[in-house]
Chains A and B, each alone.
Chain A
Amino acid sequence: MDPLTIAIIVAVFTLIVLFSGIPIAFGLSFVSITLLVAFEGLQMLDVFAETFYAGLNSFVLLSIPMFILMGMAVAHSPAGKDLYTGLDRWLWRVPGGLVISNIGACSIFAALSGSSPATCAAIGTMGIPEMRKRGYSDEIATGTIAAGGTLGVLIPPSIVLIVYGMATGTSIGRLFLSGIIPGFMLASLFAIWALIHSYFIDKNASKLLRNRKPPTLKEKFEVLPRIFPFLAIIVGVLYVLYGGVATPSEASGVGAFLVFVMIAVVYKIYQPKKIWNIVKISMKESVMIMFIIAASYLFAFTLSQLYVTQSLAQSMIELSSNKWMIFLMVNVFLLVAGFFLPPVAVIVMTSAILLPVITTLGFDPYWFAIVFTINMEIGLITPPVGLNLYIIKGITPDVSLSTILKGSFPFMMMMVLSILILCIFPEIVSWLPDKLMGKPLGY
Chain B
Amino acid sequence: MSEDMEFLLAMVLSGASIGLMYSLIALGFVLVYKATDAINFAQGEFVMLAGLILVAVLGFEGAPLIAAIVVVLAAMIGFGFGLERIVLRPLLGRPVVAVIMATIGLAAIIRGLGPVIFGKEVRSVALPIGDDPIVLGPANLPPIQVLGAVVAIAFFLGFTWFFKKSRMGVAMRAVADSQQVAQAMGINVERYFALAWAMAGVVSALGGIVWGAMLGVDVQLALVGLKVFPVVILGGLDSVGGALVGGLIIGIVESLAAGYLDPYVGGGTKDFAPYVLMILMLMIRPYGIFGRRQIERV
- Asked if A pairs with B, the answer is no
**B→A interface (CB under 8 Å):** none
Residues of A within 8 A of B (CB): none
